[in-house]
Structure 1
Amino acid sequence: MRIEFDALRESIMLSSAPKRPSEFIISDKQWRAVSALEKLPEVGLQVAIFINHFGAIENSLPSLFSKITGIDGSTSEHLLGVSTSFSQRLGIVETASLAVEMTEGFNAFYDELFSEIKFLEGRRNSYCHSLYTNTGHADQIRMICYKTDGRRATKEEIITALSVKKDCARAERVSLSLFYLLEGTRILSKPLRRKNQKNPPSKSAT
C-alpha cells in the first residue's frame, strides 16, 4: 500500500511540474521563436548582462536627481516616482541639470551622460520588446520589433554575442561613471562613448 501511495504521489508531482516551452505542442513558427536563445545561450547571457547594467543605471536616477538639485533622497524618489516611464524620469533629471549652474567640465559630462543613456534606453527597448528568431547561421539571431513612429512597420536587426557584448561595455561604462559621480570619488577620465562609435545597423520590413 505504501509503495502504491509513493508511486501515486510521484505521478502527481511530475504531472504538476511546470513545463518548459519546448515541451508544449506548438507550431514550427512558434518553436523557432522560443528556441532561438536556447540554441545560442551565449547571446541570451549577454542580453541578460546588458539588462542588469541598465537596471543599475535606472535605479541611479533618483540619487542623480538628488545630487544635482540638492533635494533629499526620499523626496527625489517620490518626485521621480510620479512619472510612469523611464524616458519621463530621465527628462526630469536632464532638465534639472540644465537649470543648475555648473562648471564647463560638468556640463560637458552631463551632456554626454544623458546622450549615452538615451542610446542605451533604445537598446534596452529593442532587447526587451523584440521577437528573437533563428537566422540559419550558427552565431546569429534576428531581432524583430515594431517601430515606434506610428508607421506600423517592423524593424529587424541581426545580433551576435559580440555585438551585444559591445552594448554591455557601453552600459557598464555609464554605470561606473554614475557610481563614481554619486560616491564623490572621481569621474572616469575616459569618454563615455568612443569617437566614431556607430549604432548597430537595422533594416525595415513592412
Structure 2
Amino acid sequence: MPKIDHDTKERILAAAEKVFHANGFKGTRTTLIADQAGISRTMLHYYYSTKEELFQEVMRQTLSAVFMHMSQLMTENTTLANLLTHLIDTVSDLFEAKPGLPSFVVNILNETPDVVTLMTSSTQDNLPAQLEALLAQEKVKGTVAPHISGENLMMDIYSLCSIPYLGAAYIKAKENRTDEQLKAFVAQRREHVKAMILKTIQV
C-alpha cells in the first residue's frame, strides 16, 4: 500500500476545488478530478474513497480557516464597527481568492439540496451565535438597533459581498468594463458594503 504523500493530497484538493466550481457537485466525476490532478483514478480513490468525502474535505479546508480567523476576531478587544469591517474584509478576501465559490454554493443549494448536509457537517460555524452575544452587549448600551440579529447580519455580509462575483459577467458587460476596471469596482464596493452594514446596525 503506497504512503500518503501530502503534495499529492494537496494537488488532489486543488484539482477538486477547480472541478467542483466549474461543474457543480452533480456534474463532477472523480475521473475529471484525477485528470486535473495528473494522477490515476485508482490513486485518487486511495486518498478519497468517494466524491462526497472529497467534497467535504474541500469545503472544510475552504471555510475552516475563514471561520477560525473570524472567531479570533470575535475574541479580540475591539469595537463592533472594527469587528464588522474585518469580517467584511475576510469574506471579501475569500471571494477574491476563490471567485467561483459564491456561484458554486448557489448551484449546490438550488440543484443538490441533499448535499447541504455535507456542507454543514464539514464546518462548525458558531459565528452568528458569537456575534449575537456581542450585539446583545451593544444593545444594552443603546448603540445597536434592537431588531439586529447575528444571523441576519452574517447573511447580509455574505450576500452583499458575493453579488459582484455572482454577477461579474453582467457588471463587466453593462458598463463595458475592462478586467482592471471590474477589479476596481469590486474594491470600491467592498467599502460601500462596510458603510452600509455599519449604518444598518445603528439605532
Output the TM-score relative to the length of structure 2.
0.27
Greater strand content? 1
Output the TM-score relative to the length of structure 1.
0.27
Greater helix content? 2
Q: Which one has the largest radius of gyration?
A: 1
